[in-house]
Amino acid sequence: MKKLIPLALVALLGSTSLALAQDAFPTPSVQARDNQIELGTISTTGAGEVQVYDFQGGMLGQMLGSTPLVSGANADVKVSLPNPAQGDALAVLVVDGRAVASQVVQFEASGG
């Protein structure tokens, strides 16, 4: 069963990253449509993880993958996916058990 969260929550999470500049994603980039998302350097104020979810029509779907993070700068963060994403995804930064930032992940159009 899909877990759905309204777009308003995503907006709230995104604004949280402005208040907590240390818990943040780098500038987003368009990703290749493959089995890995490259997020660059992610800074955190505590141990946590990046969780990547299916994100269609402003609704959060099932988790596609995650990767652990340590407190401080985490260089070259990559999240493996079991299958290439079919649409957009949402990366959620979770620190000390709390979602503190999010970023929409966009992919190249199919076929190029």
Q: Phi, psi at residue 58, to the nearest 5°?
A: 75, 10
Query: 3-state class of 16 per DSSP?
Result: helix
Each residue's pLDDT tens digit, 2-38: 454 444 444 444 444 444 448 888 877 788 888 899 9
Pairing mode, strands 48-56 and 59-69: antiparallel
Q: Which of 62, 60, 86 is CA-nearest to residue 7? A: 60
Q: Does position 95 have pLDDT exceeding 60, yes or no?
A: yes
The domains of the chain, with CATH numbers, are 7-105 (2.60.40)
Kindly report the pTM of this predicted structure: 0.76
